[in-house]
């Protein structure tokens, strides 16, 4: 758990640091100590903070070898079929999890913020491209990969990062959905040993959300509002069927033999700290 906690701290620390940097540069350029607290300028600065902090987290994970090339491999069995079925899996999940989220009526405290982000180029880049890549590097690669090698029970090694994945979104409605997605992403990573199927599913999920938002004219419609109660239930049931079939097909037909998770060398920074302790 030590590494999980450390990586969570890094995640928030980079956001805090770049908030200071971006707003500090803004104040320097405008020769003012008064920072915007709301409005378009504040939102654009916040988008730059999010984009730069996300990039920094990704670079940190790769540079210090929390994630290696093995985590980005495409040599798992039936590669093309697994990627294709992963697409079916995330589409199916989107159908029933969105409807389940509607039924729970959890508060969406960031609805307005995401609406603004989906209308902002920096926001779209962060949501559709950077988030799927960096969040998978962080949650699945940096956290789950380590726990799978350390813990005997893979269920907990998948569940703990999924909980972190839900928590860092900071929005009750989104966190619930993210936790369920995290479990499935984690299972796919556990079966394949590769982050690429997870990144693909994450990209499709986020990209679909942005696309549907714009196709609806900027209205964040629920499935019931768009399709009616009967239509929403039918689509959710189809999604459940696709989800069950996809998981069954990957497990029994494509990757029936589980890969062996073995301990790999510690990240560079952990090796340095260990050496410093020995010298002391």
C-alpha distance across the termini of the chain, in Å: 25
Give one word for 31, left, alpha or beta, with left for phi > 0 and alpha for psi -120 to 50: left
Question: Which pLDDT score, from 0 to 100, does residue 268 have?
Answer: 67
Of these ranges, 137-151, 164-178, 263-277, the one predicted with the greatest mean pLDDT is: 137-151
- Output the CA–CA distances (angstroms, integers) from residue 271 to 13, 44, 267, in the order listed: 21, 39, 6
Across the range 144-150, mean pLDDT stands at 94
Per residue in 177-215, pLDDT (tens digit) is: 899 999 999 999 999 999 999 999 999 999 999 998 888
Give the integer Cα–Cα distance in Å for 246 and 251.
Answer: 9
Question: Which pLDDT score, from 0 to 100, does residue 85 have?
Answer: 98
Burial of 228-260, coded b for 16+ CB within 10 Å and e otherwise, reads eeeebeebbeebbebbeebbebbeeebbeeeee
Write down the pTM of the prediction: 0.93
Across the range 121-142, mean pLDDT stands at 96
Per residue in 39-56, pLDDT (tens digit) is: 889 999 999 999 999 999
Per residue in 212-249, pLDDT (tens digit) is: 888 887 776 788 888 899 999 999 999 999 999 999 99
pLDDT at 264 over 70: no
């Amino acid at each position: 758990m030590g590494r999980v906690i450390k990586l969570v701290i890094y995640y928030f620390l980079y956001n805090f640091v770049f908030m200071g940097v971006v707003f500090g540069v803004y104040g320097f350029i405008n020769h003012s100590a008064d920072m915007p607290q709301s409005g378009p300028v504040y939102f654009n600065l916040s988008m730059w903070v999010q984009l730069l902090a996300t990039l920094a987290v990704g670079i940190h994970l790769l540079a210090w070898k929390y994630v290696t090339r093995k985590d980005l491999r495409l040599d798992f069995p039936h590669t093309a079929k697994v990627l294709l079925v992963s697409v079916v899996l995330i589409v199916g999940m989107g159908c029933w999890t969105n409807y389940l989220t509607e039924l729970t009526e959890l508060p969406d405290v960031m609805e307005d913020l995401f609406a603004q982000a989906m209308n902002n180029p920096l926001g779209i880049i962060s949501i559709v491209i950077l988030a799927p890549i960096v969040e998978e590097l962080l949650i699945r690669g940096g956290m789950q990969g380590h726990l799978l090698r350390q813990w005997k029970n893979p269920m907990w090694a998948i569940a703990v990062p999924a909980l972190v994945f839900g928590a860092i979104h900071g929005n009750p409605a989104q966190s619930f959905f993210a936790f369920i997605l995290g479990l499935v992403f984690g299972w796919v990573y556990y079966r394949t040993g590769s982050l690429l199927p997870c990144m693909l599913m994450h990209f499709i999920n986020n990209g679909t959300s942005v696309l549907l938002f714009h196709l609806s004219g900027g209205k964040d419609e629920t499935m019931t509002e768009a399709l009616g109660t009967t239509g929403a239930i039918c689509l959710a049931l189809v999604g459940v069927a696709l989800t069950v079939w996809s998981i069954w097909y990957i497990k029994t037909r494509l990757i029936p033999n589980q890969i062996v998770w073995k301990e790999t060398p510690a990240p560079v920074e952990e090796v340095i700290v260990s050496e410093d302790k020995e010298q002391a």
